[in-house]
Structures are given as C-alpha cells and as structure tokens.
Copies of this chain bind each other. A is one copy, B any other.
Amino acid sequence: MKPNFEGKSPTPDGPFVLDAFDRKILAALSENGRISTLELAEKVGLSPTPCSRRVKRLEETGVIQGYTAKISPAAFGLNICVMVSVRLAKQSPDAVREFLDAIEARPEITECLLVTGNIDYLLKVWVADIDALRHFIRDVLQSVPAVAETSTMVILNMTEAGSISTRIEQRA
C-alpha cells in the first residue's frame, strides 16, 4: 500500500513528503526499535501525544514495515559470509522454478537477489566454515541442473550503513 499523508504529497504519485519530525522518528526507531514513546518524543523534539500519533501513522501507511531484533550470525556459529553469483543455463520459467525450489529451504541463504547483467542471481550466504561453504556450493547450488555457473566472493568486511532513514537524516 502506498503511504498517503493527507495533503502532504506535493505532486500526485510523487514521493511522499516526510517532514523533519517524521525523518527524526524513523532515524531514532532505526537505531533503537524499542525506544519508549516518551524517550522518542524527547529525542525528536515533540510531545508524546503527536509523536505517538506519527509513529502509528507511519506504521499504518507502511513506511514502518515492522520491527525486528538484530541477531548476530556468529552466535549461531556462522562465521563466514559470502556472496555467490549464479548464472542459469537458461531463464525459462521452468529453469527459474527449479533453481528457486532448490534454494528456497536453505537456511544459510539470507538474501536472494534477481539482478540484471551477466549473472542472474546474487545470494548472500552464511556458513560456519569452509567445509560448509564447499558443501553448499557443490552439493546445493551446482547440483541443480538449471545452474550453469557460480562464482563465490568471500566477504572480508561488511559495513552495514544503518538504514536509509538514518542516513537521510544525517544528510538533512
């Protein structure tokens, strides 16, 4: 659903205008999704009542899509993160389905991106060690007939740059 703030959109179908308060609220909730209403209000410079109203509106309009705990993969013994590019032999619906079926249930995949370019898919995969990585690439990915070619990039350093809202707010 498209967010729709009554009268706040300057152009029809244009980007929604979140004002400075909204942006501050989103930045604060990105940083701490469990901040209390009072603390949030103080942080953004509003009184609790309108602040709470804005949060509810942001939730209802889909700007805030939910809340989640950030879990350390290392806590599960998953110490290695890799990006695996996958090229399919052909892009027919059957081939795509075969590929997606094969990877769907794999818990080590945390992101599956369908992309344009020389490759078809880009997967983010967490594994415990090199043995687990080899097993995943050979026995899971490359054993799928539809998969023509894979290439694995080990992630040496990951900088997750906060969320969009945090960065937008920093710039504003």
Chain A contact residues, CB within 8 Å of chain B: 3, 14-16, 18, 26, 29-34, 61-73, 75-78, 83, 105, 107-117, 119, 122, 126, 128, 151-165, 167-168, 170-171
Contact = CB atoms under 8 A, between A and B. Distances in A.
Contacts of A171: 105, 107
The count of identical subunits is 2
A97 B161 CA distance: 17
A132 to B, nearest CB: 11
B110 A76 contact: no
A69 B67 contact: yes
Contacts of A162: 110
B16 A77 contact: yes
26 contacts: A30-B71, A32-B66, A33-B66, A33-B68, A34-B67, A63-B71, A63-B72, A63-B75, A64-B72, A65-B70, A65-B71, A68-B68, A68-B70, A71-B164, A107-B164, A110-B163, A110-B164, A111-B160, A111-B161, A112-B161, A113-B155, A114-B155, A115-B154, A117-B153, A117-B154, A122-B153
